[in-house]
Structure 1
Amino acid sequence: MADDPRLRYIGLEKNSSAYQARRVGIAAAKARYVLFLDGDDELARNAAEVTLAKARDSSADVVGFGVEMVMPAGQGTPRFERSLQPKHAELIGEQIVSALFPLGQPAQGHLWKYLFDRELLRDAYRQADESFQFYRANDIPVSFLALSNARRYVSTSNRLYRYFFRRGTSGQSIDTIDQFKFYLSAVDSLESIDDQVPAHAHASYRSARRSLISNLVRDCLERTTGDLRDQCFDLLLSRVGALDIVLASADFCREALPMLVEQFEHLAVSPVQQARSVVVTTSHLKTGGLQGVVAAQAHIMVSEGIDVTVALHEDQDIDHPITPDARNVTIVGNSWAEKIQCFIDICSDVDADAVFDHHLLYNEYWPFYALATRAVGIGTIGWVHNFALRPIFNGSTRTSFIAANLHTLEDTVVLSPTDVAFWTINGVDNAVYLPNPPSPMLIEQGTDSEPKKLRSAPIELVWWGRLQQSTKQVAELLKVASGLRDLGVEFHMSIIGPDGPDMTRAILLREAQRIGLSESVDVLGPLHGKELTSALQHADVCLMTSSIEGFPLTLVEGQALGLPVVMYDIPWLAYLEGNHGVKTVPQNDPSQMALEIAAFVGDPQSYQDTSAAALTSARRLLDVNFGLLYRQLIEKRLDAGHRPPPTPEASQMLLRLSVEYSERTARALAKSRAEAKSLKNKMAAAPFTPLSSKVEVPGIENFQQYRKNRSTFLRRFIAKILPSTWKQANFIAERNAKWNRTALNSIARQQQEIARSLNGLQQATKESAARTAAMERYLRAERDDLRNQ
């Protein structure tokens, strides 16, 4: 090395960290451009030549290049290796740092990935204290500042750096608290430039910092256990704080959620002495029962003197207006962490005492929001807007996820005592029963003063809601109509509501016409405001065919107008208790529903009595002081009646329904398996030519239309008299091969979809079986207790 004037050795008196060694090297560098090489890696022989030429040709002050990962045989991290390769051919000015440190992506500040203009590096070091010594993540403060101030970045896909994975000290196991302290020092490295980061790079800097913190969260999760994990996590918590841990995990380490729930269990929220401000959050305020509840809550709490802000995850048109009662804002951000931080800022701006989250059933990010609000001293109260067994009914695996994370909430509001029983049996100790509030329109109009009297034929029937077959079973209404026709009852049925995911107005109209009911059944689409009220006032009976519901406000709205209700039995509905204005029939029994309607026609006095009972039930709900209930909920002053203990009857119902829904899922699983087997057989027997086509050898004139050159008159003439050529045969073979590939790919895609469905259904079946076993154990314990009394 001494014989080569291009090489210089600079010895340091002591180890002051690689960060300081690079400072010395950069200060001593004479060339305009600088490459870096870690002691345990290698540069390609042509690395300097290729990158220097790239920099000079494009007048760039930063050149990125590809990386080759060298790993022991049998090991591989292809995702990490792909992430190291350049993704941008060219970047200019402020877009450089945002593209190379993208929001929500793991931060990669390796200096060895780039050729730098020497002055960029010197400027970066000039902005830092000369005494800094960083032994972990010591390149990211330099690379971040250099890239933040770069003018032009270009790249080459050539892999010019050989990175020997885990040859050095990085990535080794953690056996002691001192080892974790070493990794924790990465935060010091990046935070050393906190005051030097230019404004345009702030978002990328925050994301990079969260990325570093998430590495430490993952270290706790994957590389420590027991007491050592607790000690390491406490160190991390004391260094960066609970909120930053939640934000980092939300973007980069979501698998750590169970550990966060456990570690943050000690975080207490101060009691609210007098509720003044609440942030209510959900996805949107378009048409829907949940959205109606949000609008009603806003109206009621404002009337109670509580300030309300509605924070929406989606910026969509609003069908349920909440102004002037409350303000609405949209949660914005380019990653989960950015959105959660935005939500925290919203809560801070209005000095929120509590959060009402109405979206628990529909996403998997809500626990991160609940943990984040808890980290800043605000409790979250969650609403479960459907029956507890809804995930099992759907064949999904969400029940376990919900149950595992409800502890992040101050309280979990459910819609019936049966729901309280379910969650209590499953180890959730914060479940509380509250009914859904009536809508602002219903509060304003109240109930009719007198019961309805049945008018002359035809009897007017009405159903309204979203046209959804899977849960609301709208098509059952046509079966009810057929039953009434068979009984000779004169009737007219109005079906009101927007299209759903699996049912539309057009489908219902076609089916009604097919079975000869188009004169008796109208499918009106969505109605709102006065139009809806007018349609309901004109009706005689409200129908409900749902298989599963939480707390359907359509029942209350119909009964407030004096409408008797005929519905499929939903035994857990709290609103049905003592409600004599409802006639229930077994699920999926449209004939019995038709008989109940016919009984009203035959007995007008019975109809009038049922109408009077409907009004009584609606008034009972309207008389509830929901404003006081919400205040007591926030201030933790609800009486014990809202937290009823599980009863044997509720447990038996849950057990029966769990078995019913599990068997429903098992039947769907068996059907899916049969379909998968059928598709596999089709794939195995797939011919080399499409089954549906009889391939005929085309004449030359047909062949020529696929060629670029036009056929002449002579060629067209010859085509009619000559047989096919070998070129035609080749053309036909290629065409058939393409048809075959298309058919096989289609079958393969269908098989993949069914395989995914099978996996989901199998998991749901396992969960349901586990919950059934838990309920059986609970029932046996209850029975033994009764025997011992």
Structure 2
Amino acid sequence: MPTAPRVSIVIPLFNDAETIEAALESCLAQTLAEVEIICVDDASTDDTADVVERFRERDSRVRLLHQPHNLTALQARRAGVIEATAPHVLFLDGDDELLPDAAQKALAAATRHDADLVGFGTEVVTPDGRIVGGYQKRLAPQRAALSGTGVLGGLFPPGEPAQGQLWRFLFRTAVVRKAYELVPTDLALPRVNDLPLLFLVAALANSYVSIDDRLYRYHYGRGGSGQAVETLDQAYFYADAIRSIDSIESAVRSIARTRSNPALLLDAYDSARLSIIGHVLSHLLAHTAQHLVDDVLAHLNTCAPPVDLVLAAARFHPETFSALKRRSAPVELGAAPVHSVMLTTRSLTTGGVSNVLLTQAAYLRQAGYRVLIVARRFDSNRNLVPEGVEFIEMVGRGLPERLTEWAAICRSRAVDVIIDHQVMYSRDWPEYALTARALGVPTIGWLHSFAGRPTYDGSGMHGLLKESLPLLATTVALSPLDVAFWKLRGVTRSVYLPNPPSPLMLESKGEALASRRPGGRIELLWYGRLDDRTKRVTDLIDVAHELRRLSLDFHITVIGPDGGDLTSDRFNELARARHLDGFIEAVGEKRGQKLIDAIDGAQAFVTTSVIEGYQLTIVEAQARGLPVFMYELPWLMVVQGNAGVVSVPQGDAAALACQVAAVFASDERYGQLSVASLVAAERARSYDFAHLYEQLITGSLPSQYSPVPTLEQAQTLLDWTIFYADQHTGPRADSTARRRDGHGTGRGRSAADSQRGGSSFKQHFWQRAQPVGRSLLQVFPALRPLAQRVKAMLTVGR
């Protein structure tokens, strides 16, 4: 009497005539004799069934079942499991083999531990017999033993690529049958038909063990994986893997309803699903003929929500981000009504970026919108949030978690438009914009510094900005010259808007009077953050040196918190080293009324910044009636047409001191500047900001805010780009560092230099441009045809 089978080996077959013989020989060679081999022919059109039939005649342990029509391996395995008589089952594909002791060793482990699943290793070989060690290692069991809900968590750990090969396990037959009860009998899955079943089995299983032995021989390259995708039909076939994982969602949720902690199961499923989506996306982008990629991405957007493609890329295949950014469909402003606006930054502080954001929030509330502020990092000052504005501080760790959280916020708060204030300062903002774009939410990027800032910093941000700014519905800069820069870089959806007034400016409305020239000591004021790299605070020491040389009775007060490269104590040390103590002093930070009192106690504001985006301190000082003396920053909106400002060439401390001396020598000139300052401050306050922001978020800004670049602007941008490249790499950078260390000469630019004017400026900086010419043309590729013409103009008279 034949012995009852202890292991059933189920083999789904479709057109495997060339390989099934080796597969069956490996089954019959098992050291465990008590096996049954159930072959399920899934309506093959070749001789597969005939080959199996010859083996069946040879050995009664071989059985052959016929599917009436092709239902894919998912249903062929079901038919085999239903017919199985053994308490445990192994799965074998028709083009692979089992090692001789596979059934015996796997069954021994299952019996010893009473396990629902037994994991084992796999031997991976190429057609010429070589071992594929890397893949073989990835297929090896990663956990020794698991129990309860830990089985699913161990086999499908959230955040790790999902693997679903059924042939890496021995199963308790009853558990597999229970899993199949949750799968529709008519479900056909041409791609990834094993992972859905394995996931359900892992969710239902109570115990798992593994052994290190390699019991399965997998023939790498025999299937369709890794092949080039040259037709849309091939792409659709690969993309069908997404439908496979989606097909068990209702079953997963059904199991979850029976669990005390369903989140564990649902998180594992969501991760496995994103893993499959990410794998499909990566494979198709890597292997699809380029002329088909747009159509393939369009199809993928029908297979899964576009935001899931982005989240899958973030978690599992970040190398696909570049293609998604380039090829995702734009979301236009004004395409849908706007009710809810999100403003976002790194964290809420008392700094300039946060002040702009908070004032915007108040104006948008005034215009009738729901406003949400989201900080993408921790450490925000929640007390700054305006009344009626919701605030969220994100808690996710790592970009994949944060993007998932970002998408959830956009959905739950029904966000219609996003204004991102970190575009100039963050390298991951494009991923947030891409996520929002996938949800149909347009993002507006607010640039808080002059477009030349990345050149000056040497940050390499220009490449990222050029590639990623097209993700934005609109890029908001702070001046027409900035708009020209970005449009010349190919960012056509660029506009400029003034920054909103600060509380100090609003409080000063109708309060300050024109300042009067003092009869005694001249009190000069500088305030801001002590950031010497961008604000050149230590240039004030040069200015003080020149003022003293001119025999003026003066004092310069420097107010502000310490910066990353300069402190008040260090500043005062440098001043003492130049014997200027008593003439200039850094006094630390002042806020509120103390700052206003300090401004009102001064007769002029001095600024030495080398680069700014808006420089609100200029109009704040002017709002209190102070004339302004500064290095030229001609793109600044606040200085254009501002008769209360006196500017000199960049870095020319001697010229700045001479202008201060000349103005304070004339009551009339000083009075004119003071009155003009008040006029300029009133102009800066006069915009209808609520209306401007409403026009911005609805895409209805007048064309005047998005001017066409001119040749004159292009020439100016060339000047300043060369200048900033020179500042980053040239002698000025070295001399600034030496002065900061106390080794500088302490002299500003000479009076002769200051008299040379704009022509000398252009000639000097064109000469300094030779080492950075290549990077300049990378920044402005649109200007290549004009390069020689502009060069000739700039170098005239050399």
TM-score range, shorter chain: 0.7 to 0.9
Q: Structure 1, residues 337-385: CA drift from partner, whole Å, max 9, x if none?
A: 5534433443344443322121212334433433443444432222122
Matched to 1:222, the amino acid is A
Work out whether residues 230 and 289 of structure 2, in 8 Å CA contact, stay in contact via their aligned partners in 1.
no
SS state at 1:618 partner:
helix
Matched to 2:448, the amino acid is H
The 5 Å alignment of 1:273-672 reads: 275-318=338-381, 321-333=384-396, 336=399, 338-446=401-509, 448-455=511-518, 457-664=520-727, 667=730
1:136/1:594 CA distance change after superposition, 3 Å:
same
The one of 323, 334, 353 equivalent to 1:259 is: 323
Work out whether residues 270 and 377 of structure 1, in 8 Å CA contact, stay in contact via their aligned partners in 2.
no
Map of 1:10 onto structure 2:
38
2: CA distance, partners of 1:770 / 1:494 = 42
Map of 1:750 onto structure 2:
none
1:72/1:282 CA distance change after superposition, 3 Å:
farther
Matched to 2:196, the amino acid is P
SS state at 1:244 partner:
helix
SS state at 1:362 partner:
coil
TM-score by length of structure 2 reads: 0.77
1: CA distance, partners of 2:354 / 2:95 = 59
Moved more, 600-609 or 540-549: 600-609
Gaps of 5+ in 2: 1-26, 44-70, 257-261, 735-769, 793-798
Give how far 1:584 is off: 1.5
1: CA distance, partners of 2:652 / 2:733 = 25
Work out whether residues 447 and 561 of structure 1, in 8 Å CA contact, stay in contact via their aligned partners in 2.
no
SS state at 1:10 partner:
strand
SS state at 2:432 partner:
helix
TM-score by length of structure 1 reads: 0.78
1:286/1:36 CA distance change after superposition, 3 Å:
farther
Map of 1:222 onto structure 2:
286
Map of 1:128 onto structure 2:
183
2: CA distance, partners of 1:587 / 1:158 = 73
1: CA distance, partners of 2:595 / 2:147 = 57
Map of 2:232 onto structure 1:
177
1:17/1:570 CA distance change after superposition, 3 Å:
same
Counterpart check, 1:191 vs 2:257: no
Counterpart check, 1:140 vs 2:195: yes
SS state at 2:598 partner:
helix
Map of 1:768 onto structure 2:
776
Give how far 1:40 is off: 5.1
Q: Structure 1, residues 583-603: CA drift from partner, whole Å, max 9, x if none?
A: 222222223333333334433
SS state at 1:108 partner:
coil
Work out whether residues 513 and 624 of structure 2, in 8 Å CA contact, stay in contact via their aligned partners in 1.
no
1:219/1:324 CA distance change after superposition, 3 Å:
same
Moved more, 302-311 or 215-224: 215-224
Matched to 2:39, the amino acid is G
1:563/1:670 CA distance change after superposition, 3 Å:
closer
Q: Structure 1, residues 405-461: CA drift from partner, whole Å, max 9, x if none?
A: 323222211111011111111222211111111124432442543111244544333
SS state at 2:341 partner:
strand
1:325/1:451 CA distance change after superposition, 3 Å:
farther
Map of 1:690 onto structure 2:
none
Q: Structure 1, residues 40-83: CA drift from partner, whole Å, max 9, x if none?
A: 55667777777667767777655556666556899999886765
Work out whether residues 330 and 437 of structure 2, in 8 Å CA contact, stay in contact via their aligned partners in 1.
no
Map of 2:56 onto structure 1:
none
2: CA distance, partners of 1:665 / 1:107 = 47
Q: Would you say how many aligned residue pairs link Structure 1 and Structure 2?
A: 693
Matched to 2:453, the amino acid is R
Greater length-normalized contact order (CA 8 Å, ≥ 6 residues apart): 1
Give how far 1:33 is off: 5.8
Work out whether residues 447 and 619 of structure 1, in 8 Å CA contact, stay in contact via their aligned partners in 2.
no
Map of 2:20 onto structure 1:
none
Matched to 2:552, the amino acid is V
2: CA distance, partners of 1:305 / 1:2 = 77
Give how far 1:255 is off: 3.5
Give how far 1:669 is off: 14
Gaps of 5+ in 1: 672-761, 785-789
2: CA distance, partners of 1:505 / 1:128 = 71
SS state at 1:588 partner:
coil
2: CA distance, partners of 1:34 / 1:297 = 65
Give how far 1:227 is off: 4.0
1:774/1:235 CA distance change after superposition, 3 Å:
closer
1:515/1:373 CA distance change after superposition, 3 Å:
same
Matched to 1:243, the amino acid is V
Matched to 1:173, the amino acid is A
2: CA distance, partners of 1:145 / 1:319 = 45
1: CA distance, partners of 2:132 / 2:778 = 36
2: CA distance, partners of 1:669 / 1:494 = 25
Give how far 1:579 is off: 0.9
SS state at 2:392 partner:
strand
Give how far 1:154 is off: 5.7
2: CA distance, partners of 1:189 / 1:203 = 18
Give how far 1:194 is off: 0.2
1:211/1:518 CA distance change after superposition, 3 Å:
farther
Work out whether residues 489 and 781 of structure 2, in 8 Å CA contact, stay in contact via their aligned partners in 1.
no
2: CA distance, partners of 1:345 / 1:380 = 16
1:325/1:473 CA distance change after superposition, 3 Å:
farther
Matched to 1:172, the amino acid is Q
2: CA distance, partners of 1:243 / 1:548 = 38
Moved more, 590-599 or 57-66: 57-66
1:670/1:572 CA distance change after superposition, 3 Å:
closer
2: CA distance, partners of 1:372 / 1:489 = 59
1:169/1:462 CA distance change after superposition, 3 Å:
same
Counterpart check, 1:777 vs 2:785: yes
Q: Structure 1, residues 529-586: CA drift from partner, whole Å, max 9, x if none?
A: 3333333333332222221111111112121112222222112112111112222222
Give how far 1:624 is off: 0.8
Give how far 1:504 is off: 3.4
Give how far 1:395 is off: 2.0
1: CA distance, partners of 2:556 / 2:155 = 62
Give how far 1:626 is off: 0.7
1: CA distance, partners of 2:584 / 2:206 = 70
The 5 Å alignment of 1:736-775 reads: 766-772=774-780, 774-775=782-783
The one of 249, 253, 270 equivalent to 1:206 is: 270
Work out whether residues 652 and 779 of structure 1, in 8 Å CA contact, stay in contact via their aligned partners in 2.
no
Matched to 2:185, the amino acid is E
